[in-house]
Amino acid sequence: MSEAEERDQRRFLAGTFALALCVRLLALAVWESLGLTERFGNDPYPFYAKVLLGWVPPAPIVVHPPVYSFWVAGVFALVRSPSYLAVQLVNVLLGAGGAALFAVWARRHLLLAAARVAAVWLALDPLLVYFSPQLQSEPLFLFFLALFFLGVDVVGREPGKAGAALLGLFGGVLTLTRSVVAVYPAFLAAAALWSRRSVRGAPVWLLLFAGWAVAPAAWGVRNIFVHGQFIPIATNGGWTMWEGFTVDREEVRRRPFEMREEAARLGLTDEGDFFRSGRHFSGKVKALIRNEPLRALRIMFGKAMLYWRPWVYDPYPVPVRWGAGIYFSILFVLAGCGAWTLRGDPGWAPVWGLFINLSALHAVLFTSLRYRAPLEPFLVCLAAQGAVTAVGRLKASAASAATTAR
């Protein structure tokens, strides 16, 4: 790439960031004016942040992965106030930054025209914009995920020892941000080896696994001293398995309340053993699979389909559900076209590994459209590739028809 092309690329990426930031700031203004935080709620990360800062009485912070709680605590400490708006503003910046970083990644993996379309699309994508003004962990996780996949590009398909170990270290931090990637190193290593059609050099990937374990192990050791138990990530795995192990919408609404009542009735909230509740509910999933395997398979298949549904459920109003259904249907069709054109590209193998990882995971754990967010930037990139390829073929067909007519 020439110096002039590099300057043009930098200006385009700066414009992508500016567009993404403006759109997300507007979304934050709308979010706040409609009071949507109160309506939709949020995970307890801000509460955990106050616990970490000593602003509320001590309480366990091991139910969810801890990185985002520490992040929110840092924001609170910086502004010297438990300001939700400060966290939301930082999330807006992270959301815009994540869009720009994925645009950089797209430039390396798509046609030039498709990469530019993807950059603008990433800035405007409704799902990515929707989570930016919230108190949830998606903006930070997606920002880290973009950095991680840029790191995958740097180490390449045949990483050196240092590259594999460093990538693993960062992957461990990523896992402590959202635990859905806890087993991804297996998929990443398998994807890299598959794309090479060789297991030569496979032992170096053991360093990735070792590095990946460092941050969770350190968190687990901390929890031994604080809580008397080795808790390497979080304790909500069994809960989220049983909570979402159904495809019945009424049961999905009802089950969390029933689970809380059941846990209280059985005395599963004893703080001396944080895994009691999780073991109980994961045991119920295992018992269902063991006693009714066909029913369990139907549930898992149905949940896998629901993970990829293009529509959203209540409490969103009907027009939003229709709009989302149409948008995601178009996105999926174009992404499928793009995936077909890139099917032999080894640079996409780690992405296919992530798709398989999350699809399989949410066939068992709780699923909602929110949990497809880590795949959204890649779907946008694939859709941009599909759209540009389709337009190119249409132009070529039109030119060929015009030449024949003459």
How many whole angstroms separate alpha carbon 115 and alpha carbon 104? 8
Tell me: the pLDDT tens digits for 66-78? 999 999 999 999 9
Tokens of 147: 């950095």
Query: CA dist 53 to 49, 50, 71, 256, Å?
Result: 6, 5, 12, 29
Q: pTM score, two decimals?
A: 0.94
How many whole angstroms separate alpha carbon 193 and alpha carbon 187? 10
Residue 365, Cβ density class (10 Å: 0-12 exposed, 13-18 middle, ≥19 buried): buried
pLDDT per residue as tens, the chain (406 positions):
677 778 888 899 999 999 999 999 999 999 999 998 888 888 899 999 999 999 999 988 999 999 999 999 999 999 999 999 999 999 999 999 999 999 999 999 999 999 999 999 999 999 999 999 999 999 999 999 999 999 999 998 788 899 999 999 999 999 999 999 999 999 999 998 888 877 777 889 999 999 999 999 999 999 999 988 999 999 888 888 999 899 888 888 899 899 999 988 888 876 667 888 888 999 999 999 999 999 999 999 999 999 999 988 767 788 888 999 999 999 999 999 999 999 989 999 999 999 999 999 999 988 888 899 999 999 999 999 999 999 988 887 777 776 776 6
Torsion of CA 108, 141, 42, 63, to 10 degrees: 150
Tokens of 76: 């609170």
How many whole angstroms separate alpha carbon 171 and alpha carbon 384? 27
CA triple 373-258-278, angle to 5 deg: 65
How many whole angstroms separate alpha carbon 242 and alpha carbon 146? 31
